[in-house]
Amino acid sequence: MLNRGEGKTLRTYEVLLHALDMQKYLTEAERVWKNDILKSSWPIPGRLVSYALDMFERHRKPREVIKVFLPSSPKVE
């Protein structure tokens, strides 16, 4: 999405996840989480992981909550 400023990039993804969640576009939010955030090389901030857990729990997606903690997930700050 953005090449410079990891903080800005991660904040942008956080805002995007929040917007998709509030509009109930869970499929798109899952795609952003899996394809853009989890596969990135950046360490993921704890509050972003916490938000994703809350989002999946709110939409009753227990399998997605478990996938957040798989060993292939990147390191969390």
Q: What is the DSSP letter of 76?
A: B
Query: Which residue ranges make up each domain of the chain?
Result: 6-68
As a whole number of angstroms, the distance between CA 26 and CA 41 comes to 24
Check residues 38 and 73 and name the one with the higher pLDDT.
38
Q: Is the pLDDT of residue 26 over 80?
A: yes
Q: Are 41 and 6 in contact (CB under 8 A)?
A: no
Check residues 9 and 74 and name the one with the higher pLDDT.
9
Q: Is the pTM of this model over 0.85?
A: no
- Model confidence pLDDT, tens digit, residues 47-58: 888 888 888 888
pLDDT score recorded for residue 19:
92
pLDDT score recorded for residue 2:
46
The amino acid occupying position 16 is L
Q: Are 55 and 36 in contact (CB under 8 A)?
A: no
Tokens of 55: 């989002």
